[in-house]
Amino acid sequence: MMNLPGLNLATPVADAPPIAVVEKHEHNLRIYTEYRFEVSFARTLTIKLLEGTAEYFGTELAPTQTYSFSGTKGAIFTWHGCRLEVSGEAESEYVAEETGMVAYANAHLALEGLRDRGGLEGGPRVLVVGPENAGKTSLCKILTAYAVKVGRQPMMVNLDPRQGMLSVPGSLSTAAFSSILDVEEGWGSSPISGPSPIPVKMPLVYHYGLANPEEGKVFKPLVTRMALAVISRLEEEPLSKSVGFVIDTPGSISAGKGGVYDNIEHIVSEFSINVVFVLGSERLYSDLSRKYQNRPTDEAVNVVRLDKSGGCVDRDEAYMKQFRQAQIRAYFFGSDKENGLAPHSQTSDFGDLNIFRIAEDSSNAYGHDEDDMYSRPSGIYEKTIPTLSIQNSLLAVTTASPADRQEVIRDASVRGYVYVSDVDETKKKVRLLLPQPGQTPANAMILGSFPEDVPGLVS
């Protein structure tokens, strides 16, 4: 399901918003300043570097190349000064003189020092934590981009189901980065994303299917499974082992309950984390520093506080929903408007689908005791027959057989996703949208409650 899709279904064309005629204007940025902007999903902002040097979350802009942005909030920073040409309509734009880039660059240099001294033990294993909208993902991009820039091959791990990385929202993913990040597309492209000037990445994906890691007991087992995969990969690839990895996390796990951060502690333990960057929360920094301050040298965890960037803004749920739907649309139809993808539509019988819905009581699937976490896996999923309730939903096609035990299905990686565009309960037929033509996958498919339904993906 990772091949390029078929050519028998055209990309749906939404009504184009009225074109606003906006004259080009320029911004002259002094050293250590950044141009911050917000642009809606209905508009496009284009930016061109005319003079000097500049970077977008750690990735350098090519001179005179035009970059297009839509539905994003970004910042272009310059170390030596630059001149930008901007055209389009932004909801907000300004030049900021106070940024966190110097601190983030120092964090990168500190990690480089650890990599040079790591030897056979490997590079730093970095965890980034903090509340929502603190700039965690931006910091992860910067650290990854800087490592690639100096010839490293870092691994990036996304444990935030609300933000897809080389996959759709609702998933947890990891990938090794040996080429630069894509300025316009963020983390870059996977094989199903369509044409790209940047080499594609091959992510390993697990499906979580819930919005909040605090909702149930599925998150911890998947973290354990991801940690096993990442550490095994590092042992097989010396280039990645010497560099280590960076982990992005959801803000919800940083809220804590009475100073206890159960999911953070689980990630630290499973991944053998030795560096924790805390963004935007002095309380979290204080709690974690106190917890890890007296550990043995070979198990030391260095907790470092970094200031939240002034460019971080709250992203309301309406924006995040649009953002998720844009990611899902790009998964099936590509992000390149001129060279879009054309997924395959086909009709399947109810009996051809092996759908497992995340059980509503999955939060109690493993009991309440840590020692009992893996002892009662029977409540993870419920086998479900297609109904109208699954229309407009995504199904994660796993590598597991429907006859496998439920914990095997839970821990199975994802081959790809299919979209349920129509359900006919009378004829017991389901119309599916697949990235490529072929037989209906016989593998176990997971239906979660997140991401939410995406109506109108296929018109």
Q: What is the domain-level CATH number for residue 361?
A: 2.40.30.330
- pTM > 0.85: yes
- Give start and end residues of each alpha helix (H) in 130-218: 136-149
Looking at the domain assignment, is residue 80 inside a domain? no
- What is the full per-residue pLDDT of the chain (459 aa) written as tens digits? 443 333 233 333 344 444 444 578 999 999 999 999 999 998 999 999 999 999 999 999 999 999 999 999 999 999 999 999 999 989 999 999 999 999 999 999 999 999 998 766 789 999 999 999 999 999 999 999 999 999 999 999 999 999 889 999 999 999 999 888 889 888 877 765 555 566 667 899 999 999 888 776 799 999 999 999 999 999 998 888 999 999 999 999 998 777 789 999 999 999 999 999 999 999 999 999 999 998 888 889 999 999 988 777 778 888 889 889 988 998 898 876 666 788 899 999 999 999 999 886 654 444 334 444 334 444 689 999 999 999 999 999 999 999 999 999 999 999 999 999 999 999 999 999 998 888 889 999 999 999 999 888 886
The sheet with strand 275-279 has its strands ordered as 204-207, 171-176, 155-158, 245-248, 125-129, 275-279, 302-306
pLDDT tens string 409-431: 999 999 999 999 999 999 999 99
Name the burial class of residue 290, with classes exposed (0-12), middle (13-18) and buried (19+) by CB atoms within 10 angstroms of its CB: exposed
* Residue 3 pLDDT: 37
Looking at the domain assignment, is residue 54 inside a domain? no
Looking at the domain assignment, is residue 221 inside a domain? yes
* Residue 9 pLDDT: 36
State the total domains in the chain: 2
Residues whose CB falls within 8 Å of the CB of residue 132, separated by 6 or more in sequence, listed in order: 250, 251, 252, 314
Q: Is 92 annotated as a binding residue?
A: no
Residues 198 and 296 placed together within one structural domain of the fold: yes
Residues 254 and 403 placed together within one structural domain of the fold: no
Q: Which three-class secondary structure state does DSSP give residue 440?
A: coil
pLDDT tens string 45-64: 999 999 999 999 999 999 99
Residues 276 and 398 placed together within one structural domain of the fold: no
Residue-wise DSSP of 234-259: HHH-HHHHTT-EEEE--GGGGS-BTT
Residues 183 and 238 placed together within one structural domain of the fold: yes
Residues 283 and 213 placed together within one structural domain of the fold: yes
Beta strand 155-158 pairing with 82-88:
unpaired
- Nearest CA to 330 out of 142, 71, 145, 100 is that of 71
Looking at the domain assignment, is residue 86 inside a domain? no
Q: 396, 418 in Cβ contact below 8 A?
A: no
Name the burial class of residue 119, with classes exposed (0-12), middle (13-18) and buried (19+) by CB atoms within 10 angstroms of its CB: exposed
Q: How many CA atoms lie within 13 A of 403 on its CB side?
A: 0
Q: Which of 306, 324, 358 is the last residue of a domain?
A: 306
Q: How many CA atoms lie within 13 A of 442 on its CB side?
A: 4
CA distance 245 to 233: 11
Q: Is 392 annotated as a binding residue?
A: no
Q: Is 354 annotated as a binding residue?
A: no
Helix 219-236 crosses helix 262-271 at what angle (to 10 degrees)?
Answer: 20
Residues 234 and 361 placed together within one structural domain of the fold: no
Q: 13, 333 in Cβ contact below 8 A?
A: no
CATH assignment at residue 268? 3.40.50.300
Q: Is 135 annotated as a binding residue?
A: yes
Domain span at 398: 343-447
Residues 353 and 249 placed together within one structural domain of the fold: no
Residues 185 and 298 placed together within one structural domain of the fold: yes
Q: Is 138 annotated as a binding residue?
A: yes
Residues whose CB falls within 8 Å of the CB of residue 333, separated by 6 or more in sequence, listed in order: 11, 12, 340, 341, 342, 343
Secondary structure E strands in 385-444: 394-398, 414-424, 429-434
Residues 369 and 289 placed together within one structural domain of the fold: no
Looking at the domain assignment, is residue 66 inside a domain? no
Q: Which of 306, 333, 354 is the last residue of a domain?
A: 306
Residues 223 and 371 placed together within one structural domain of the fold: no
Looking at the domain assignment, is residue 237 inside a domain? yes
Which two tokens mark 81?
């000064």
Beta bridge partners of 346: 432
Q: Is 136 annotated as a binding residue?
A: yes
CA distance 455 to 459: 9
Looking at the domain assignment, is residue 24 inside a domain? no
Residues 180 and 298 placed together within one structural domain of the fold: yes
Residues 283 and 154 placed together within one structural domain of the fold: yes
Looking at the domain assignment, is residue 59 inside a domain? no
